[in-house]
Amino acid sequence: MPPFKDEQIIIIAPGSGTTVAQLGLPESFTPPRLRLRSCMFPAEKEGEWEPYKVRRRMDKLPERPPATQEEAQEINDMKKSLGEPDEDEIIYEEDTVSEEGAVWPIQEGKIVNWPCFFALITHVYNAMNPPFHTPILLIAQPAWTPREHEKLTQFFFEKFKTPAFGLMDSALATSWAYGVHTSTVVDVGKGKVDVTAVSEFLPHIQGRVVALADCGGEALTQGLLAKLKSKGFNRDMCEQLKKNAICEILPAGTPLPGTGEVSGEDTVTNPAAAASTGAPGSGPAAASAIGNAPRGPGADTEVGDEANGDDENEGVLDVASIVAGGKMNEYLARKEKEKQEKAAAKKKGIEAPVPPTKPVRLPNSKRERATFMYEDHVLLDTLKNMNLGSKGIAEAQAALDEGPQKKSQDAQDGTSEPKSAVDAHGSTDAATSASRTGPIRREIEVGVERFQAASGGVLETIADAIHRTISSVEEVNKRSELWDSLIICGNGSRIRGFKDALMAVLQSKYLISPSSATIFTSEIPSNISTPAGTGANTPQPQLGLHGGSSQVNPLLLAATTAQNPHLMPPGGNPLLPGMPSSHSTHSSHGQTPTSIKFVKPPEYFPEWKDVGYDEAAFLGAQVAAKVIFVVDQGQSKGYMTRPDYNDQGPTGIHDYSL
Amino acid sequence: MNIPNPSTAPNATEYAGDEVSAIVLDPGYNTTRAGFAGEDVPKSVVPTFYGQINSDARPQYYFGENAIHNPKGNLQIKNPWGSDGIVEDWETATKVWEYAITSRLTGPKAGDPVKNGLNDANGGAMDVDMEALDNREKPLEDSPLLMTEPGWNSTKAREKYIEIAMEEWGTPAFYLQKTGVLAAFASGKASGIIIDVGASTTSVTPVLDGMVLKKGVQKSPLAGNFVSNQIRLIFKQSQPEIPLTPHYMVASKTQVDAGAPAQATYKTFDVPPADSFRQHEEERVLTEFKESVVEVWPGPGRFSNGTNEEIAKAQPGRPFEMPDGWNQVFGVERYKAAEALFDAGAAIHDADNPRPKDDQTIPHLIKAAVQQVDADQRPLLLSNIVVTGGSTLLYKFNDRLNYEINALYPSTRNKLIAPGPVVERKYAAWIGGSILASLGSFHQLWISRKEYEEHGANIVEKRCR
């Protein structure tokens, strides 16, 4: 068999929310090139699946103009034609954005719908259009059982005729990415959290916490929804709010803006610092949030300054139902009126004295209210289902969209208040790239609820899972190293402040502080009386009795070695008879953690550095693929080859998995 | 020789035709271990404890590590094992075991082969045998099963085991073996005395040539849970009383001086979990205490003998911090928690927790077990003393055990076999089962479905001795 080359290797990482994949390893490892939603749509024929929603359309217009999302661009080129319409009049079209009626085959890390999952993998595979002789490395979720590994092996060999196939545990892949042999990997996914202790490159299978439900990104969305439901928010809005930079998890004990009485003073005393460190939408965290929100097409961080509480959206958040009910025109008319009123009010406001607190831009965590752009997919779906025809849809969209196009017009009119550099930048960007077929955007304002995504106890549950995982590692002496090498990854942890808040919970609940009882004095064994000034009862080395004792003051020795038994000289401490010198076997006796640290992410992959390491498992898989397929050529049984499969069948995969 | 062409798919019969990997299930009081035969550690180790919430209609059950540590309102934590080391609640025990197998090994039941996508590559529909579909509903339809049982299992319980495996799980072949024999196998021994100190039960099993000497099997409740209980009593009788607060009650802790009252902020629950939940969570803290503080007095002599206690006082204490931040150094107390395993007189007791009987201690169990063995076999057994079970990991446990055995039998060559790796000590019975079930001869041992259908559940008495 010819050796594998870099450009032939396929890596696939299926996830509950997003599946990423790549064909070929570049010179410097890059984030995955192909990024798809992990969902499929049932086709008309039962048992078949389509990657996008397919609608019937009655008019005879050609295909819709190309959508603008990054996602759509990526997949446009591999769009398959759907076959000719069998009836005249009926035209089918693919809708690359809609999620209506989608089936998500992976839930909480488990594969729940195998036909759909296989269809998804097939779609991913075809999307990459690989040549022959492509080895495949699949990143396996911890929730997959050995039997399921066999099933996957069978599928890959028999469906794709792949010459070599490898399975890699996602936690192990993450630790490869970070280049550490021992680590605690906390993978925050969509519906679940996995916590795995990896020690010496071996995932600790027995004690790992698999698929801890109600803790992933979805739980955070639900947390927001619980807080905001009364204000008319729906799940979709909360989801987008969560991905926006204004949504943040504050460390426990931080007062919410508007409730903490001191929140204003900081900015007054040190406005420069506040402006430079906390400016929303400009920090690295926010930047990465913008750059790679998984399905956030052009998500710009509209942290406008209109925090003065205009309630235009209150009560009419659910535009979709209004439109569906045929009242769109009424709604539009009302909106227009409101807008004029507002503009008039603003004109007046310019003459009024500017509020004194205005000049300093408060950091997000200090603001009581903030706004974000909501992309109303439901509304778009509703419009599409109304069979308006593309012209009609475009018109309706234009009327309903409050997105950046409108804004820039407003700005030209000079009626709206001046915008910050960030805003202006964001809106021009979006305005040039956005076309009329983009999603319908509306501005929505939220209050302090945006800081309360994790108020349902998500962080405590994850922290407890970490504690349980590490406590279940049998080698007691490995535990402190595991605590010192935490890795938090997964797209669910992307929300601003998540990692720091989790660390704060761990520190406040589990960190063992040095006991005041173990300072020098209390270490003196109680059977030694305190040395008197005369020196009469200062212990003397008793050579005759114990033999071979050192000439060091035994008291000092006892005190300094008590906590570190391995430091004791062989042969036993003269003061502590009866204590065998077998301490070396038990040197790390004691509670953990005495310190908790994150592992520093690797710095030698510039492309990854830009987007963050939330998908570090993929980076690890790239490293591993390079090692097992190219460098090592199968010597260490990192993958299964076709002849191996023919010999051993699917069950053989257990001998080859990393 | 016929070498298969690498580019063609093999026939279904060609690969691994007769090599079916058996599943080994080793149920215990604290954890249930399950995995595939031939592997070196069980892939699935799940708690045997389960959660239950009694709602109006019917009780809701929760299995698995994640569920039983989740402080849900009214959640009770229960265990299907009885205090005598035999399963009491068969219905939930079955569910727990099934969970251990399906959650991490086999996955939920396989779907209909027509639709599960595996056959898509071959194309074409195939005839669906409705009977085969029925069998698919069962989790173990294509795996032989080896289960372990304690040496004192009743006939009724053994018949129940095979009934569950055959009727409920649909396993094609079944075998039952005693934990003692398997633990000996794991250490490569066919004969020996197996001392198994588990969570609820300590047992001593004499094994000769792979057979348990049934009348020699001894057991007592002085095991891991007993030590936990002793620690609770130490906390309770300490002046002032040491509060035991589990992690889930604490929101955040503050550092305090040693012995000072805790200054933590506590959580409040609208509907708190049941007391049994709290007790189970406290057990986590006690486990940590056992791992980091408790020490067995290594000998010579008992802890209460002569000046031993004085010597122990000279040892440096070990600090321990509670989840609520309370901390203290434990000096001589830490020797007391496990002393009663060897010396019933040293047990800490109060009105609710009576002093254990003398013949329940480990030395007495060993003595009673050895007495049942022919005198000429004793030296053989005593030179193969296998130590297993999670509670034998207590610091210095083996030193003390060694001392006690040498004191009992000074004239023979006594050898303690205690595997160094913790995993092997904890899962010895499972590992032995994994070895047994991966042997070629396992085919000859097992009871096939056909035999079971012919002879009924009682066949287990004849075939699995």
Q: Please state whether the peptide bond connecting residue B300 to the residue before it is cis, i.e. omega within 30 degrees of 0.
A: yes
CB contact under 8 A, B107 and A145: yes
Chain B neighbors of A475, CB-CB under 8 A: 422
CB contact under 8 A, A119 and B117: yes
Q: What is the count of residue pairs from A and B with beta carbons less than 8 Å apart?
A: 179
Closest CB from B65, B316, B317 relative to A209: B65
pLDDT tier at A45, thresholds 50, 70, 90: confident
Q: How far is B213 from chain A (nearest CA, A)?
A: 32
The residue among A94 and A140 whose pLDDT is bigger is A140
Closest CB from A118, A464, A590 relative to B292: A590
Q: What is the pLDDT of residue A158?
A: 92
| DSSP tag of B77 | E
Return d(Cα B250, Cα B268) in angstroms, integer.
Answer: 9
The residue among A335 and B438 whose pLDDT is bigger is B438
Return d(Cα B193, Cα B183) in angstroms, integer.
Answer: 10
Q: What is the pLDDT of residue B173?
A: 93
Q: Where are any strands of DSSP class E within A157-286? A: 164-169, 183-188, 192-199, 202-203, 209-213
CB contact under 8 A, A515 and B395: no
Chain B neighbors of A563, CB-CB under 8 A: 316
Q: How far is B42 from chain A (nearest CA, A)?
A: 7
Tell me the per-residue pLDDT of A389-448, one tens digit each, with 9 for 90 and over. 666 666 766 676 665 544 444 444 433 333 333 333 333 333 333 344 566 777 888 888
Total Cβ atoms within 10 A of residue B445: 16
Best of A515, A545, A561, A573 to substitute, by most chain B Cβ atoms within 10 angstroms, is A515
CB contact under 8 A, A652 and B16: yes
ipTM, two decimals: 0.89
The residue among B154 and A358 whose pLDDT is bigger is B154
Tracing tokens 């197996």 back to the chain, one arrives at B194
Best of A111, A145, A196, A502 to substitute, by most chain B Cβ atoms within 10 angstroms, is A145
pLDDT tier at A361, thresholds 50, 70, 90: low
Closest alpha carbon within chain B to A474: B422
Q: How far is A283 from chain B (nearest CA, A)?
A: 30
Q: Which of A96, A93, A87 is CA-nearest to residue A61? A: A93
Q: What is the pLDDT of residue A392?
A: 66
Return d(Cα A440, Cα A97) in angstroms, integer.
Answer: 12
Closest alpha carbon within chain A to B330: A517
What is the torsional sign of CA A326, A327, A329, A331? negative
Q: How far is B446 from chain A (nearest CA, A)?
A: 22
pTM of the predicted model as reported, rounded to 2 decimal places: 0.79
pLDDT tier at A451, thresholds 50, 70, 90: confident
Burial profile B325-338: b = 16 or more Cβ within 10 angstroms, e = fewer: bbbbbbbbbbbbbb
Closest CB from B41, B257, B422 relative to A516: B257
CB contact under 8 A, B318 and A515: no
Q: What is the pLDDT of residue B251?
A: 87
Return d(Cα A444, Cα A201) in angstroms, integer.
Answer: 47
Local structure of A88: helix, strand or coil: coil
Chain A neighbors of B252, CB-CB under 8 A: 252, 505, 508-509
CB contact under 8 A, B70 and A468: no
Run of H or E including B337: helix B333-339
| CA A415 to chain CA centroid, nearest Å | 39
Q: How far is B21 from chain A (nearest CA, A)?
A: 9
Q: How far is B463 from chain A (nearest CA, A)?
A: 30
Chain A neighbors of B422, CB-CB under 8 A: 474-475
Return d(Cα A608, Cα B55) in angstroms, integer.
Answer: 50
CB contact under 8 A, A509 and B252: yes
Closest alpha carbon within chain B to A152: B118
Return d(Cα B370, Cα B205) in angstroms, integer.
Answer: 9
Q: What is the pLDDT of residue B388?
A: 94
Tokens coding B220: 């007592």
Average pLDDT of chain A, as a whole number: 70
User: Which domains does chain B carry?
Assistant: 233-346 (3.90.640.10)
What is the torsional sign of CA A143, A146, A152, A157? positive
Chain B neighbors of A577, CB-CB under 8 A: 311, 314
CB contact under 8 A, A146 and B36: yes
Local structure of A197: helix, strand or coil: strand
pLDDT tier at A569, thresholds 50, 70, 90: very low
Closest alpha carbon within chain A to B8: A646
Q: What percent of chain A has pLDDT over 70?
A: 59
Q: Which of A35-39, A304-308, B441-445, B449-453 has the highest mean pLDDT?
A: B449-453
CB contact under 8 A, B316 and A471: no
Closest alpha carbon within chain B to A557: B316
Closest CB from B248, B319, B422 relative to A515: B319
Residue B396, Ramachandran bin (φ over 0: left; ψ between -120 and 50: alpha; else beta): left
Q: Is the distance from CB of A181 to CB of A487 less than 8 angstroms? A: no
Q: How far is B465 from chain A (nearest CA, A)?
A: 31
Return d(Cα A223, Cα A429) in angstroms, integer.
Answer: 32
Radius of gyration (C-alpha) of chain B in whole angstroms: 25
Total Cβ atoms within 10 A of residue A342: 16
Q: What is the pLDDT of residue B171?
A: 92
Closest CB from B121, B252, B310 relative to A158: B121
Closest alpha carbon within chain B to A211: B66
Chain A neighbors of B308, CB-CB under 8 A: 578
CB contact under 8 A, A476 and B292: yes
Q: Which of A260-264, A603-607, B136-140, B244-248 has the highest mean pLDDT?
A: B244-248
Run of H or E including B417: strand B416-417
Given a cut of 50, whether residue A66 has pLDDT beyond it is no
Query: For residue A189, which phi and psi values (nearest 5 degrees)?
Result: -100, -150
Alpha carbon dihedral B8, B9, B10, B16, in 10-degree steps, equals 130
Helix axes A389-400, A328-351, angle to 10 degrees: 30
Return d(Cα B52, Cα B68) in angstroms, integer.
Answer: 9
Q: How far is B352 from chain A (nearest CA, A)?
A: 31
Chain A neighbors of B390, CB-CB under 8 A: none
Chain B neighbors of A517, CB-CB under 8 A: 257-259, 317, 319, 327-329
CB contact under 8 A, B318 and A590: yes
Run of H or E including B52: strand B50-53
Tell me the per-residue pLDDT of A171-221, one tens digit each, with 9 for 90 and over. 999 999 999 999 999 999 888 999 999 998 889 888 888 888 888 888 888
Closest alpha carbon within chain A to B119: A155
CB contact under 8 A, B252 and A252: yes
Best of B291, B397, B422 to substitute, by most chain A Cβ atoms within 10 angstroms, is B291
Return d(Cα B423, Cα A314) in angstroms, integer.
Answer: 60
User: Which domains does chain A carry?
Assistant: 6-40+103-177+602-655 (3.30.420.40), 180-215+247-290+452-526+552-566+595-601 (3.30.420.40)
Return d(Cα B104, Cα B454) in angstroms, integer.
Answer: 33
Q: Is the distance from CB of A367 to CB of A311 less than 8 angstroms? A: no
Best of A121, A510, A516, A641 to substitute, by most chain B Cβ atoms within 10 angstroms, is A516
Q: Is the distance from CB of B193 to CB of B384 less than 8 angstroms? A: yes
User: Which residues, in sequence order, are CB contacts of A17 under 8 Å at separation 6+?
Assistant: A37, A38, A189, A190, A217, A294, A491
| DSSP per position, A349-381 | HHHSPPPTT-SSPPPGGG-S-EEEEEEEHHHHH
Strands of B447-448's sheet in order across: B44-47, B31-36, B23-27, B145-149, B173-178, B447-448
Closest alpha carbon within chain B to A509: B252
Q: Which of A126-135, A315-324, A544-553 has the lowest mean pLDDT?
A: A544-553
What is the torsional sign of CA B58, A108, A205, A482? negative
Question: B149 forms bridges with which residues in the sheet?
Answer: B178
Q: What is the pLDDT of residue B176?
A: 95
Blockwise average pLDDT, block size 10, chain B, 465 residues: 50 47 93 92 93 85 90 91 90 93 79 45 41 57 91 92 93 94 94 94 94 92 94 91 91 86 88 92 93 89 85 87 89 90 90 88 95 92 94 92 93 90 92 92 90 92 85
CB contact under 8 A, A147 and B106: yes
Q: What is the pLDDT of residue B87?
A: 93
Chain B neighbors of A527, CB-CB under 8 A: 310, 313-314
Helix runs in A251-313, H state only: 263-269, 271-278, 284-292
Q: What is the pLDDT of residue A299?
A: 37
Return d(Cα A423, Cα B59) in angstroms, integer.
Answer: 55
Closest CB from B252, B288, B329 relative to A508: B252
Q: How far is A618 from chain B (nearest CA, A)?
A: 24
Residue A107, Ramachandran bin (φ over 0: left; ψ between -120 and 50: alpha; else beta): beta
Helix axes A498-510, A458-471, angle to 10 degrees: 60
CB contact under 8 A, A558 and B316: yes
Q: How far is B280 from chain A (nearest CA, A)?
A: 13
Tokens coding A35: 């990024």
Closest alpha carbon within chain A to B41: A206
